[in-house]
Amino acid sequence: MGTSFFGPRSAGNSARGAESLTRLWKASPRWLAGASLWLGMGQLPARAAERLFVLTDAGHVRQFKIDPQRPVTLEKTYSEKELSPAFPATSISVSTGNLFRTYNEQGDQLGEFILDARSNRLAAYAKDPGSVSSIPGRILETPDTSVIFRGANSLYSAKKDPAYAASLLREKFRNTHAGKYRDFFVLDGMVFGTTADHIDRLSNRDGSPVAGDPRAGLTLPGGNLGKAVVSPWNEAFIADTGGKSLQRVVWRNGDLESNGTVADAAMIAPGALAFDPDGELFVTSGAKGANAILRFRFVLDNFVTWRAVPHGGIEVENALALDLALAKPVGYVLSEATNPLVSQNTGAANGHHGIAQTILLSPDINSETAVIALVQYEPGGYTVVHKHPQMEQVEIVVDGRALWEVGEFEREVGPGDVVFCPRNVKHGYKVIGDKPFKFYQVEWREWAINH
């Protein structure tokens, strides 16, 4: 028996949870506070998923949304009209700062763009990362590792997070060795390059270039090695069109060693590869149609070997997937400046009187489970006493005062107070005085997902 690397995703929990949540929503005739948080959300772009970019021919890039709870969806197709200069391209990449680049056959960069988190689209990048004091912030194209929170024991430290440090090192050698190798990967702090049937070692363990000519790493007779990627468990996977498979390579006992292969009937000419943060592998297959991009999850057999398990494919509408690149997960700084309060009609607000609000986080916008809103009631505003059998709520008061009933007592609350309303606890409130009452509302609906 194998131990799944993907416990929460592998048994259909996500699909059953979504169905349970939908049933609860439909069964609630008066969603009350919860209902108001969802008003008007459809106008905001959904970002609670991974973004996969696929080069489908020399002149088009497609953007897919990979969501563990929903089918893969095509969000956008880019051509020369939207991305210029970017084509004709033969490969693509996404680097630190979510900078998207296209390259020609010689490996020369054609165009550079930024994945804008708020619009969920690629936009032209003019080499201006911006300012830390602006609303969008500064793009981390080249993070300043001298800042104290990026020092020892941070994700920028190879000892703390080898994968992130390796991604920066790989990008450095990609820029200095462009055209000499088909791809680069990092194992145990050392950079390797793939070409033909062999792999060269290009750096020492500290990341410094080897003196003189590259060191021979490993030869795979009959192989035709191309793109490479390293798994979360520190094993390299290399596309091998000669063997119609993926070569698995590890650094063991001071040497680079072969560790088997991954093969699939649909893997005609494997090309680009990418691992997402949860360890799912995406591979361009060399086939058209539903299996243009293959997906694999991994099961740990006997706590020793990670076994690849096919997980379906991604269709690119009868086109070949020439290359692919995953965007890095994004975070946000949100406020009333980015998401202004919107007054709600009393009838539509369903039990809330004098309310204005804005959604900052929700699973349909930019989070996996969290729901956070900024809410404000005008003087005289109130919410009738109600309860939620399917979620917990926390209200963090930032301005104004209100009388709250929560459970079996009532109390006046003001700035700095935190009101906790567990599931099935009745609560309601009214504004006190002539000043608006403002608070952040946080919701957890995990009970609904798990039941």
All domains of the chain in start order, with CATH: 40-45+334-450 (2.60.120.10), 50-326 (2.120.10)
Is 12's pLDDT higher than 60? no
Exposure on the CB side of residue 197, measured as CA atoms within 13 A: 7
218: confidence class by pLDDT, cuts 50, 70, 90: very high
- What counts of helices (H) and strands (E) characterise the chain? 6, 30
Which pLDDT value is given to residue 26? 34
Is 382's pLDDT higher than 80? yes
Contact 89, 103 (CB under 8 A): yes
Q: Tell me the backbone φ, ψ of residue 97, rounded to 5 degrees.
A: 85, 5
Total-model pTM = 0.78
- Mean predicted confidence (pLDDT) in 166-176: 83
- Mean predicted confidence (pLDDT) in 315-339: 87
Which pLDDT value is given to residue 347? 63
Mean pLDDT of the chain: 83
Which pLDDT value is given to residue 172? 85
**pLDDT above 90 coverage of the chain, percent:** 54
- Mean predicted confidence (pLDDT) in 362-375: 82
Which pLDDT value is given to residue 15? 36
- Mean predicted confidence (pLDDT) in 44-58: 75
| Residue 445 CA: distances (Å) to CA of 83, 151, 209, 351 | 40, 36, 51, 20
Which pLDDT value is given to residue 158? 64
Which pLDDT value is given to residue 33? 35
Which pLDDT value is given to residue 41? 34
**How far is residue 244's CA from residue 224's CA, in Å, rounded to a whole number?**
9
Is 16's pLDDT higher than 80? no
